Chains A and B, each alone.
Chain A
Amino acid sequence: MFDDEGFLQDPNRWSPALAKEVAARESLVLTAEHWEIITLLRNYYQRFDASPAMRALVKYSSQELGPEKGRSIYLLSLFPGSPARLGSKIAGLPKPHNCL
């Protein structure tokens, strides 16, 4: 069901319950703030056919949720390390394929 890096093999099988499971494996308990970004990531994928790189995620968050939340430091506080990658993993998006 998951690849060796923990990404969902088939994005269609994603569910909120599965997101919690993936998050738990990353030692994260999902709060309302997490869910806001997870929803944002899933919308991003719908609109742009791709998982965002960090730069695009920051800008998109700012555009959609306001400048307070469109900041690296805010996203890092929710998804430590690499917010775009970790967030995408939990949101059931494919691993960014252009291997930046």
Chain B
Amino acid sequence: MKISLLVLGSPLAGASADSAYHYADAALRAGHEIPGIFFYHEGVYHGNAFSAPAQDETDRVERWVELSRRGPSELVLCVASALRRGILDQAESSRRSRAAGNMHPAFNLAGLGLLVAAAGECDRLLTFGT
């Protein structure tokens, strides 16, 4: 089955995004396809390459990156949500004269149209977080 995920929760606020990860992980292991994972709203913090958790904590950014290689699954940050929250790729960072780009290169910035397209194409679209 083709399954897409919509992740609304930030990495550290509650367990919804952890559930999304474990769901995606289990679905891939069960042989399903996950063409895209969409991070919207607070979910865009998952693409912050500058997050530096302590050694005994889960690195939630790296975990998505590893999963996306395995998928392969595209990791997409809603561009409007991301810019508003200070998650910028290299190009946006120079365009807006910011000190550095902090988006992990395994993620992509895109408009909502991509999520709309995914909703039309996949068999299931699951929302995680409120």
A: residues with CB less than 8 A from B are: 4, 97-100
Contacts and interface: CB of A to CB of B under 8 A. Distances in A.
Contacts, number: 13
A95 to B, nearest CB: 10
Interface of B: 79-80, 95, 111-113
Contacts of A100: 111-113
6 contacts: A4-B95, A98-B112, A99-B79, A99-B80, A100-B112, A100-B113
A99 B83 CA distance: 12
A15 B19 CA distance: 51
Contacts of B111: 98-100
A4 B91 CA distance: 12
B40 to A, nearest CB: 11
Secondary structure dominating the interface of A? loop
Contacts of B95: 4
Nearest to B112: A98
A97 B81 CA distance: 10
Nearest to B110: A99
Given A98-B111, A99-B79, A100-B113, 10 more contacts: A4-B95, A97-B80, A98-B80, A98-B112, A99-B80, A99-B111, A99-B112, A99-B113, A100-B111, A100-B112
B80 to A, nearest CB: 5
A70 B80 CA distance: 29
B118 to A, nearest CB: 15
A26 B58 CA distance: 51
Contacts of B79: 99
A52 to B, nearest CB: 16
Contacts of A98: 80, 111-112
A97 B78 CA distance: 11
Contacts of B112: 98-100
A4 B80 CA distance: 17
